[in-house]
Amino acid sequence: MIKSTLTDKWQTTIPAEVRKALHLKPRQQLIYELIDGAVLVKHQPETLKELYGCLADDKPSASKSEEREAARKARAARYE
């Protein structure tokens, strides 16, 4: 059984075993579901809006001509 303590401010620390099992990240929202006197805790799935910018790169995007050239090379490599 996994335990945690409720503070005077109604806060608790989620035990490491639970964080690892749910793959929780800092600032991630949780969902609490009450089921017959018990509580089910699930992580809130990330929305596309929250994922915005996670793939950002320092490298500037390619120009149209560079994209076309890369596509030509990829097609040529596929048919070799």
Quick one: pLDDT at residue 10? 95
Quick one: pLDDT at residue 56? 67
53 in the Ramachandran plot: left (φ > 0), alpha (ψ -120 to 50) or beta? left
Quick one: pLDDT at residue 25? 87
Low-confidence ranges of the chain (pLDDT < 70): 50-57
